[in-house]
Amino acid sequence: MSWKLTKYEDIDSFYSRVYPFLLKKEAENNLPLGLLNTIKTGNRYKDPLLISVEGDSSQVKGAFIMTPPHHLVVVLDIDEKDYRTIAMELNTLLSEEGIAVPGFVSEKASAQKLTEVWCDLKGCKYEIGMNQRIYMLKHVNEIDIPQGRLVTPKKENIHLLTKWILGFIEDTGVHPLTQNEALERAEDMILNEKYLFFWEVDGEPVSMARGGRWTDHGITVNFVYTPDLYRKKGYASAVVAGLSRLLLKEFEFCTLYTDLENPTSNKIYMEVGYKPIGDSLMVNIK
């Protein structure tokens, strides 16, 4: 089979070409679908990298999406024997553009195959940044919820949210932010995000979660964070259950990613009603 990789400058053209391919597995592809919707409707991501993969008869068989400085998000529907060819084509395209890739995020088997051929081709090394599991929820279970309520953060919560964003980043090991960058992110989230919530107890915020990256029928729950002082009290379960129940009034399903090295969070989400639908890897290229 012959392969063609095409880099797009125009999000609308890329969207119309690739989005239907990704939508075939809507829940599993919540990350690339959600990224495309965010890129298309907002201005958060500057100069995204958008590459389609086409096989014979110009059929879309894959996509590469990167929002620098984050990892390259990869979706490939190809045979194992074709990974080396795709890697060679990708390397040629990126080298011509002077673009470096910090790592990959993809379905587990695909990430493993691409990383192996990529590092063999480039002579690089790699490490697993995070073993991830993708979950989907259509119904929230009835679970014991501690005292408290969902509340929308207000402007006076900006500094608290900034601190929590930095804490979340430290816990998850995702791309670091400076204090000022975290403050800007907090301001943007409070002013512009519809589905950001705290769990509040006696007027005190104790946990948070956010709904973002929507697809045609679903939305992703992320930024789930509880400070050390308030952990092991059921607040994470409360905010995730409450937010998920609210989101299901507008969407058919919710999705989320977890770190498989954190058994507590995986247990919490399954108790709420989330069911595993696939595994993913975040791979760091050295």
231 to 16, 190, 206, 267: CA distances (angstroms)? 44, 23, 9, 14
At residue 46, the pLDDT reads 85
Burial 109-145 (b: 16+ CB within 10 A, else e): ebbebbbebbbeeeeeebeebbebbbbbbeebeeeee
User: Is residue 117 domain-resident?
Assistant: yes
Q: What is the mean pLDDT of residues 51-68?
A: 95
Tell me, what amino acid is at 31? L
94 and 143 in one domain? Answer: no
Q: Which backbone phi and psi does 7 adopt, to 5 degrees?
A: -90, 130
Q: Grade residue 176 by pLDDT with cuts at 50, 70 and 90.
A: confident
Of the residues 79, 98, 124, which one is the last residue of a structural domain? 124
104 and 31 in one domain? Answer: yes
141 and 272 in one domain? Answer: yes
At residue 178, the pLDDT reads 92
Q: What is the mean pLDDT of residues 133-138?
A: 98
Q: What is the mean pLDDT of the chain?
A: 95
Which domain CATH number covers 184? 3.40.630.30
User: Is residue 111 domain-resident?
Assistant: yes
Q: Grade residue 42 by pLDDT with cuts at 50, 70 and 90.
A: confident
Residue 276, Cβ neighbours under 10 Å: how many? 13
Length of the chain: 286
Q: In this model, does residue 174 exceed pLDDT 90?
A: no
Q: Are 195 and 219 in contact (CB under 8 A)?
A: yes
Number of separate domains in the chain: 2
Which domain CATH number covers 109? 3.40.630
Pairing assessment for the beta strands 49-54 and 60-66 based on DSSP bridges: antiparallel
User: Is residue 129 domain-resident?
Assistant: no
Of the residues 100, 124, 148, which one is the last residue of a structural domain? 124
Of the residues 77, 97, 124, which one is the last residue of a structural domain? 124
Pairing assessment for the beta strands 4-8 and 149-151 based on DSSP bridges: unpaired
96 and 58 in one domain? Answer: yes
74 and 41 in one domain? Answer: yes
User: Is residue 286 domain-resident?
Assistant: no
List, edge to edge, every strand of the sheet that includes 149-151: 4-8, 49-54, 60-66, 72-76, 103-107, 275-285, 126-137, 253-259, 218-225, 204-214, 196-201, 149-151
Q: Domain range for residue 37?
A: 4-124
Q: Grade residue 3 by pLDDT with cuts at 50, 70 and 90.
A: very high
User: Is residue 132 domain-resident?
Assistant: no
237-274 residue pLDDT tens: 999 999 999 999 999 999 999 999 999 899 999 999 99
pTM for this structure? 0.93
114 and 146 in one domain? Answer: no
85-133 residue pLDDT tens: 999 999 999 999 999 999 999 999 999 999 999 999 999 999 999 999 9
62 and 37 in one domain? Answer: yes
Q: In this model, does residue 165 exceed pLDDT 90?
A: yes
208-247 residue pLDDT tens: 999 999 999 999 999 999 999 999 999 999 999 999 999 9
210 and 153 in one domain? Answer: yes
Q: Grade residue 172 by pLDDT with cuts at 50, 70 and 90.
A: confident
Nearest to 247 by CA among 132, 154, 136: 136
CA gap 173, 175 in Å, rounded: 7
User: Is residue 130 domain-resident?
Assistant: no
At residue 137, the pLDDT reads 98
Instruction: Render 129-142 in DSSP notation, one character per residue.
Output: EEEEEEEEESS---
At residue 1, the pLDDT reads 76
Beta bridge mates, 104: 72, 283
168 and 73 in one domain? Answer: no
Q: In this model, does residue 56 exceed pLDDT 90?
A: no
182 and 49 in one domain? Answer: no
Q: Are 282 and 132 in contact (CB under 8 A)?
A: yes
